[in-house]
Amino acid sequence: MTTTIGDRHEAARTPRRRRHLFSRALAGVIAAGVVLGVGELLAALIDPNSSPFYAVGSTTVDRSPAWAREFAIHTFGTNDKPALFVGMTILIVLLAAVAGIVERPRAPFGSAILAVLGLVGIVAATQRPGATWMYALPTVVGVVAGIAVLRVLTATARAPENSDSEDSWLPRRTFLLLAAAAAATAAAAGAAGRYLGQQVAGAVDNRRAFAIPSVTDRAGAIAPGTDIGVPGGTPFVTSNEDFYRIDTALRVPRLTTDDWQLRIHGMVDRELTLSWDDLIARTPVERVVTLTCVSNEVGGNLAGNATWIGYPIKDILDEAGVHPDADMLLSTSSDHFTAGTPVAALRDGRDAILAVAMNGQPLPFEHGYPVRQVVPGLYGYVSATKWVVDWELTRFDEAEAYWTKRGWSAEGPIKTASRIDVPAPFAPTAPGPVLVAGTAWAQHRGIEKVEVRVDNGAWQTATLAPQYTIDTWRQWTWEWQAAAGLHTLQVRATDLDGNVQVEERTPPVPSGATGWHTRSFTVA
């Protein structure tokens, strides 16, 4: 076979074309990085919520249907937000690479792609609650900088197809140096913006200097045996680090005690505005309360128990004078999330508080620093507003909160639930006595009984740990004489009102999951 000169030239051009395409794609990705980095830095100076990346992410969360949210939580758990960030990043990288490949001196299609992406960011940012026209600036300036970088890099990446090419081009080394400089600038701007956004108004120093209120009305001591201490089991008190976090905030608000105030208005006799000093002048209480997310699947881990210090909500409402026909407290967070809480649940004697401390520490930023709501017996989506700054007394037939607008039920009482924690699913187990252990909860009703059965057999009564209060979960154990083979265990609980945990499996939407937790084990 004879190889022509043309064939050799074509073979030589192929790797060069591949490098050329890669260089253009890289130029597009770096340009997108400049858009995001510059946008992040400017957003930190204007308002962290104006960041184009976070604005688009937050809008995605807000506009997602309930089934999409539940899929994300079911699939990724408390990593749903990182999963969203990864997905957005992958999409941006792909679109940016295409932008770099199609960019031409006289046909700037890549610049047009960046401009369209910028328009999406502008719309998302300016439609955020509380946004002004300045929310558009981070995206606008970022896109202008990104397009400039794209034009320069794609110009330096142009390689001649032959010696007669009219395109002037710089050596590949120049492209790599410019690309590295642009990438470093983007990374530095993004890192600086993120750092400044996290240091808003000295929030970190403010929290570090926070003094836990001195409490005389303390929670009772945890009796021996309340925490069964089974290896692999659930601790009675959940550490701050392990406490579940489910909320709509892609960027955690950073308030200081100097910034914070709570406005109380609507159907009240006296409108109030509480400053931080007004709040801490009140008498604090300490309570242990279990919180549960409505998105918790049967057997899920979106529940946690903590010791909270805070101020009774009932006292504040009494001071404002709630109108008799007001049945909803519409609470709003600093990032404009809303929750609708039944007024009756805040005034019936349960320990509903404005919490400022968690497990002996200032509230973590992720859990609402400086102030959040804790209301026993209600799912968090209707009661546990973090970073709370506004209360409006209203009615359920006149107002809707964030999640009720999206198809969730209005009042959100927690359902009686139980789960098996030990042994782990499909864990190899030897024949003989096996300790089965778990947790049950029915906040503000309490747990009366837990039962376990094997292979759909008769229900056996488990041994309950002491009930700390009706507002906390309760641990249980049961000794199983395991025989060889594959076995299925189920658990159900009965609360102190006599309600037996519902057998029928239903999803979390619209009012919380139901069903008996089931685990299978191999005994050999």
Residues 398 and 428 in one domain: no
Q: Which two tokens stand for residue 255?
A: 């308030």
Residues 97 and 9 in one domain: yes
More confident residue, 354 or 407: 354
Residues 492 and 519 in one domain: yes
Residues 381 and 348 in one domain: yes
Q: Which of 380, 406, 432 is the last residue of a domain?
A: 406
In a domain? residue 224: no
Distance of CA 125 to the CA centre of its chain: 19
In a domain? residue 252: no
In a domain? residue 379: yes
Residues 343 and 440 in one domain: no
Domain residues for the domain of 286 are: 261-406
Q: What is the average pLDDT value for the chain, to the nearest integer?
A: 91
In a domain? residue 303: yes
Q: Tokens 């209060």 correspond to what residue?
A: 469
Residues 401 and 421 in one domain: no
Q: Which of 198, 223, 238 is the last residue of a domain?
A: 198
Residues 320 and 173 in one domain: no
Q: Is the pLDDT reported for residue 389 higher than 90?
A: yes
The CATH number linked to 456 is: 2.60.40.650
Tell me which residue of 200, 110, 191 sits closest to 157, measured CA to CA: 110
- Asked if residue 334 lies in contact with residue 253, where contact means CB atoms within 8 angstroms, the answer is yes
Task: Please name every residue paired with 475 in a beta bridge, in sequence order, or none if there are none.
Answer: 439
Could you report the per-residue pLDDT of 318-339, keeping only the tens digit for each? 999 999 999 999 999 999 999 9
Q: Is the pLDDT reported for residue 351 higher than 80?
A: yes
* Pairwise CA distance, residues 391 & 319, whole Å: 13
In a domain? residue 132: yes
Query: What does the angle CA 80 – CA 421 – CA 509 come to, to the nearest 5 degrees?
Result: 45
Q: How many domains does the chain have?
A: 3
Based on C-alpha coordinates, what's the Rg of the chain? 29
Query: Is there a cis peptide before residue 413, judged by omega within 30 degrees of 0?
Result: no
The CATH number linked to 354 is: 3.90.420.10
Tell me which residue of 405, 263, 243 sits closest to 329, measured CA to CA: 263
Residues 402 and 438 in one domain: no
Could you report the per-residue pLDDT of 146-193, keeping only the tens digit for each? 999 999 998 887 654 444 444 444 467 788 888 899 999 989 988 888
pLDDT of residue 155: 86
Residues 279 and 423 in one domain: no
Percent of the chain with pLDDT over 70: 94
Q: Which of 406, 435, 462 is the last residue of a domain?
A: 406
Q: What is the pTM of this model?
A: 0.83
Residues 23 and 167 in one domain: yes
In a domain? residue 210: no
In terms of phi and psi (left: phi > 0; alpha: psi -120 to 50; beta: otherwise), the region of 174 is alpha
pLDDT of residue 68: 83
- The residues, ordered by sequence, that sit 6+ positions from 72 with a Cβ below 8 Å of its Cβ are 64, 80, 83, 84
- Asked if residue 452 lies in contact with residue 439, where contact means CB atoms within 8 angstroms, the answer is no
How far CA 161 is from CA of 18, 77, 289, in Å, comes to 12, 51, 71
In a domain? residue 229: no
In a domain? residue 496: yes
* Pairwise CA distance, residues 415 & 411, whole Å: 12
Tell me which residue of 99, 90, 105 sits closest to 118, measured CA to CA: 99
pLDDT of residue 81: 86
Residues 444 and 301 in one domain: no
Residues 68 and 165 in one domain: yes
